[in-house]
Structure 1
Amino acid sequence: MALASRAWRFLSLARGAPGPRFPARTPGGPAQCGLRPFRGSEVIGNPGIFKRGLLFSALSYLGFETYQVISQAAVVHCTAKVEEILEQADYLYESGETEKLYQLLTQYKESKDAELLWRLARASRDRAQLSRTSEEEKKLLVYEALEYAKRALEKDDSSSAAHKWYAICISDVGDYEGIKVKIANAYVIKEHFEKAIELNPKDATSIHLMGIWCYTFAEMPWYQRRIAKMLFATPPSSTYEEALGYFHRAEQVDPNFYSKNLLLLGKTYLKLNNKKLAILWLMKAKDYPAHTEEDKQIQTEAAQLLTSL
């Protein structure tokens, strides 16, 4: 309605509606300030051309206003569509539909939306983890996931999930680029996990992953420690106690959120020679409802560890 009203005012002016009034000289008297009086045609030139010019301006203005309205509507529609895609993606993820999720999100791989891109990184990685995925395809998916995570981070540096999945994907790529690269990336990985936790302290997964980082460097074999010393003046290091702290913190934030966190609590207690608590957490891991292939693998590992005790 406002748009129509503005256009109507322009069109009325073009049809000869009264415009702004100028001071007139005294009838029959001399022109003020020593200037002769202007005739209308001298002010506006050819009246027909002037009217057509005003009409053209009005239509141009109307076109611009219409463009703005359409553009705003397109943005709203685009945002609504992204939200719809994200809802579908989250539903498929929670349902364990890895293949369907990947197929859905790869349709939008050129997107510039960080929320969509980090989910695509996650979906690519999850597909790489499937037992039926060939080694060749797995490698392609791992590098693909890193690219999506990198783009997500570039689009939104304040996204906790983007930092988390970027760190995860860098770690995965290290498996293909050798131990030196993997160790060299250690501080970068830690930095992004810590940033993810800072941005979202209630994300149990990021806290769990920091625990894995600590656990990995606590159990690092001597030859890898030697490589680390060659790469860094102060090589990355940690302790089982530090890892345990992160695993427990993750459970406090979101109890029983992940079977692997339960398993690693048990394994960490084993490293610390606390058999009683190790059994407690390994039993929880073994009894955890299996929703994914990883859950089944963790159940098996927990059962084997319990048998060996």
Structure 2
Amino acid sequence: MAAVARLQWMWRWRLRAALCLPRGSPGLILGNPVSLRRGLSVSVLSYLAYEFYRKFCSDAVVYANDNVIRDQVLDKADYLYEAGETEKLYHFLQEYKQSDNVEILWRLARALRDLAMLSTTRAEDKKRLIYEALDYAQKALSIDAEHFAVHKWYAICISDVGDYEGTNTKIADSYVIKGHLQKAIELNPYDATSYHLMGLWCWSFASLSWFQRKMGAILFSTPPTSTYEEALQYFLKAEQGTEGSY
């Protein structure tokens, strides 16, 4: 009998601990099913409420820490970019290449593209970097299609890749480039770089020779067209822009 009583005491003690019952509480009355159910219900609800609170607080701390880390990464990335430290910026952002943060991804695409444009970069490395830059720009676009910088750098990267894809692809991509530059301007009408790039797009197609226009008409039913006047309007807006440089 003493052994049975001891086992019952141990069972009650372990159940009280599992359900977080306070020390000194009457606990659970094994011989009263109603009391048992009531005790279980109250204890389980209290436990669930505590777990929810603990999880909420934990998530809030993680979210706050993530924001701090993100801001620190972006601040350093912007500092290196403004300082012209292209290679250092590239190596720094490589540590975060698995990120799904759009702000990091478009900056990484820009860093890859800028590194490709350095005169010291070998030809084979330049091509690889340009295609890699487009990959990150595409990833950023798939995550957030309402970010002006994503559209701007996606357009730039597509234009760079077109240099390796041939004339037909470059002309076909010109529609895509124009669309993304216009979207960038729509999302941020104060970015000077987007206006300048749009001006360059218009200038390049306004400058096509008669022969190039005929070839474009053969390859495409409606090849891209523009005028010097349209290009000038974009360049003037770039001069009036308050953000960015070109």
TM over 0.5: yes
Residues 1:158 and 2:146 aligned together: yes
1:293 alignment counterpart: none
Offset, 1:60: 4.4
Offset, 1:43: 2.4
User: Which secondary structure does the structure 1 equivalent of 2:32 belong to?
Assistant: helix
- Asked whether the 8 Å contact 1:184–1:231 carries over to 2, the reply is no
Residues 1:43 and 2:34 aligned together: yes
Q: Give unmatched runs, 5+ long, in structure 1.
A: 1-9, 18-39, 259-309
| Amino acid corresponding to residue 158 of structure 2 in structure 1 | I
| Amino acid corresponding to residue 81 of structure 1 in structure 2 | I
**CA 1:241–1:119: 2 relative to 1, 3 Å:** same
2:127 alignment counterpart: 139
Q: Distance in 1 between matches of 2:243 and 2:95?
A: 35
User: Which secondary structure does the structure 2 equivalent of 1:234 belong to?
Assistant: coil
| Amino acid corresponding to residue 241 of structure 1 in structure 2 | E
User: Which secondary structure does the structure 1 equivalent of 2:111 belong to?
Assistant: helix
User: 1:34-65: CA deviations, max 9, x gaps?
Assistant: xxxxxx92424xx4x86467545534442332
Tell which has more relative contact order, 1 or 2 (C-alpha 8 A, sep 6+): 2
**CA 1:87–1:208: 2 relative to 1, 3 Å:** same
**CA 1:183–1:78: 2 relative to 1, 3 Å:** same
Among 149, 153, 156, the alignment partner of 1:168 is 156
Residues 1:74 and 2:84 aligned together: no
| Amino acid corresponding to residue 43 of structure 1 in structure 2 | V
Residues 1:119 and 2:107 aligned together: yes
Q: Distance in 2 between matches of 1:15 and 1:53?
A: 16
User: Which secondary structure does the structure 2 equivalent of 1:185 belong to?
Assistant: helix
User: Which secondary structure does the structure 2 equivalent of 1:131 belong to?
Assistant: coil
User: 1:181-237: CA deviations, max 9, x gaps?
Assistant: 000011111000001001111000000000000011011234432342134322101
Residues 1:193 and 2:181 aligned together: yes
Q: Give unmatched runs, 5+ long, in structure 2.
A: 1-19
**CA 1:143–1:185: 2 relative to 1, 3 Å:** same
**CA 1:127–1:256: 2 relative to 1, 3 Å:** closer
- Asked whether the 8 Å contact 1:204–1:253 carries over to 2, the reply is yes
Larger-gyration structure (1/2): 1
Aligned residue pairs: how many? 224
Question: Which piece of structure 1 moves more, 205-214 or 82-91?
Answer: 82-91
Q: State how 1:274-293 maps to structure 2 within 5 Å.
A: none
RMSD of Structure 2 on Structure 1 (CA): 2.6
Q: Distance in 1 between matches of 2:94 and 2:244?
A: 31
Residues 1:177 and 2:165 aligned together: yes
- Asked whether the 8 Å contact 1:157–1:163 carries over to 2, the reply is yes
- Asked whether the 8 Å contact 2:203–2:231 carries over to 1, the reply is yes
Offset, 1:108: 0.6
Give 4+ residue runs of structure 1 displaced > 4 Å after superposition: 49-57
- Asked whether the 8 Å contact 1:11–1:58 carries over to 2, the reply is no
Residues 1:15 and 2:25 aligned together: yes
